[in-house]
């Protein structure tokens, strides 16, 4: 396809998998049954992804408890009372709190990529969580015997290893999920927290060569969980100038659900560097309406008025179920939206004379 198109990451888990996970957490099921359910969900996800015609797919994050906490799930040095993130509908997601050092990942994303590779020959994209979000695990009161500077060194090392492991195993692209970027401006309108996040992520990205950077992308959105967002009211004008200082090669930007897309596209044109690839969101995962092929086509054509075609790609605004227990979006709807993205992007390419 002349205009590249990629998913963001998560796909709603099958109801049976969610049921099995709950039974395992309650101690009513053996690990072997849980692993079998993960395998069934992964195979079905890849089969259905392939059926959409998507040239790049993911594992749907079927075995991740969430896009944010997969590296730390099961660690013994965490308490449940960490930073809280309120969503617009009133529900709250809460991060754990680190209680002691050293900080280590328990799970690296490369292991998930290896498992998915068994079931497809299509290019596989792997999402990883940003170092900046995981930096919020460290409590403001500090940890005796484990200073924040040491934590940040450990965190950077682990985040680099997470990305490099995926590159070494042939990931088509490694996408760093940076959903807290827009949220940071809600927590700290001065922009200081955002700059701290950017500096930390650039410290991680600085460990990679120019050729590797071309395969690393950054994703931003206002969150998407249970049909609600956490920072959609934050103006992109405050984010994008700093966002494009990240040393990544590709940028995935939520756009379909924006009220004034042309305004955001003008900001992208103003602040993006000429060497940066821009994937714009053309489907809205938390809107129950499935976009038509023509809806997607028209959104791509709109974006093409602002972004050079050689730098333009399409994506979904966000993952369809970034948290494993989110059942707000039916699995069938997610795949229909993906199919519309793929087909509509192709219609736009044809209209633009690219195919």
- Average pLDDT on 158-166 reads 98
Confidence of residue 222 (pLDDT cuts 50, 70, 90): very high
Q: pLDDT tens-digit profile of 172-194? A: 999 999 999 999 999 999 999 99
Among left, alpha and beta (phi > 0; psi -120 to 50; other), residue 142 is: left
Per the prediction, the chain carries an average pLDDT of 96
Q: What is the DSSP string of 209-235?
A: -HHHHTTEEEEE-S--BTTB-SSTTS-
Long-range contacts of 85-94 (CB under 8 A, 24+ apart): 85/183, 85/223, 85/230, 86/230, 87/223, 87/225, 87/226, 87/228, 87/229, 87/230, 88/228, 88/229, 88/230, 88/232, 88/233, 89/226, 89/227, 89/228, 91/225, 91/226, 91/228, 93/66, 93/225, 93/323
In the chain, where the domains are located? 15-351
Coil, helix or strand for 243? Answer: helix
Token pair, residue 86, equals 């309120």
Given a cut of 90, whether residue 161 has pLDDT beyond it is yes
Which parts of the chain fold into alpha helices (H)? Answer: 15-25, 31-51, 109-117, 131-134, 148-168, 180-187, 192-205, 210-213, 240-243, 261-271, 293-304, 331-351
- Average pLDDT on 143-152 reads 97
- Average pLDDT on 311-338 reads 95
Q: pLDDT tens-digit profile of 58-92? A: 999 999 999 999 999 999 999 999 999 999 999 99
What pLDDT, on a 0 to 100 scale, did the predictor assign at position 203?
98
Residues 45 and 16: beta-carbon distance below 8 Å: no
CA distance 89 to 50: 34
What pLDDT, on a 0 to 100 scale, did the predictor assign at position 355?
74
Q: Does domain 15-351 match CATH 3.20.20.210? A: yes
What pLDDT, on a 0 to 100 scale, did the predictor assign at position 27?
87
Given a cut of 80, whether residue 152 has pLDDT beyond it is yes
Q: What is the DSSP string of 107-151?
A: --HHHHHHHHHTT--S-BEEEEE-HHHHGGGS-TT--TT--HHHH
- Average pLDDT on 216-234 reads 94
Q: pLDDT tens-digit profile of 39-57? A: 999 999 999 999 999 999 9
Residue 289 DSSP one-character state: S
Per the DSSP assignment, residues forming a β-bridge with 316 are: 283
Confidence of residue 1 (pLDDT cuts 50, 70, 90): low
Lookup result for tokens 């092929």: 293
Percent of the chain, pLDDT > 70?
100
Q: pLDDT tens-digit profile of 104-115? A: 999 999 999 999
Taking residue 169's Cβ as centre, other Cβ atoms within 10 Å add up to 15
Confidence of residue 315 (pLDDT cuts 50, 70, 90): very high
CA distance 340 to 346: 10
């Amino acid at each position: 396809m002349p205009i590249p198109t990629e998913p963001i990451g998560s796909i709603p888990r099958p109801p049976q998998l969610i049921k099995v996970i709950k039974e395992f957490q309650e101690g009513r099921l053996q690990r072997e049954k849980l692993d079998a359910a993960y395998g069934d969900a992964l195979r079905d996800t890849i089969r259905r992804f392939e059926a959409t015609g998507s040239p790049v797919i993911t594992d749907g994050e079927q075995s991740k408890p969430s896009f944010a906490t997969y590296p730390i799930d099961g660690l013994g040095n965490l308490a449940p009372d960490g930073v809280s993130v309120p969503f617009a509908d009133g529900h709250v997601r809460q991060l754990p709190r680190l209680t002691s050092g050293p900080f280590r990942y328990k799970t690296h994303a490369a292991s998930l990529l290896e498992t998915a590779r068994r079931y497809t020959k299509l290019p596989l994209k792997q999402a990883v969580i940003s170092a900046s979000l995981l930096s919020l695990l460290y409590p403001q009161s500090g940890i005796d015997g484990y200073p924040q500077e040491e934590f940040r060194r450990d965190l950077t090392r682990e985040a680099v290893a997470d990305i490099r492991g995926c590159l070494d195993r042939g990931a088509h692209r490694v996408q760093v999920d940076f959903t807290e970027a827009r949220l940071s401006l809600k927590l700290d309108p001065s922009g200081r927290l955002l700059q701290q996040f950017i500096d930390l992520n650039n410290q991680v990205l600085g460990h990679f060569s120019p050729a590797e950077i071309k395969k690393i992308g950054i994703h931003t959105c206002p969150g998407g969980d249970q049909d609600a967002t956490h920072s959609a009211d934050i103006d992109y004008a405050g984010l994008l100038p700093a966002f494009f200082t990240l040393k990544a090669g590709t940028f995935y930007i939520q756009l379909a659900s924006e009220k004034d897309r042309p305004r955001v596209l003008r900001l992208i044109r103003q602040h993006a560097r000429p060497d940066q690839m821009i994937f714009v969101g053309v489907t809205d995962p938390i809107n129950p309406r499935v976009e038509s092929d023509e809806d997607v086509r028209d959104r791509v054509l709109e974006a093409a008025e602002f972004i050079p075609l050689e730098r333009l790609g399409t994506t979904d605004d966000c993952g369809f179920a970034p948290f494993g227990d989110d059942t707000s979006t039916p699995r069938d709807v997610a795949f229909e939206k993906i199919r519309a993205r793929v087909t509509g992007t192709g219609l736009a390419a044809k209209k633009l004379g690219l195919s």
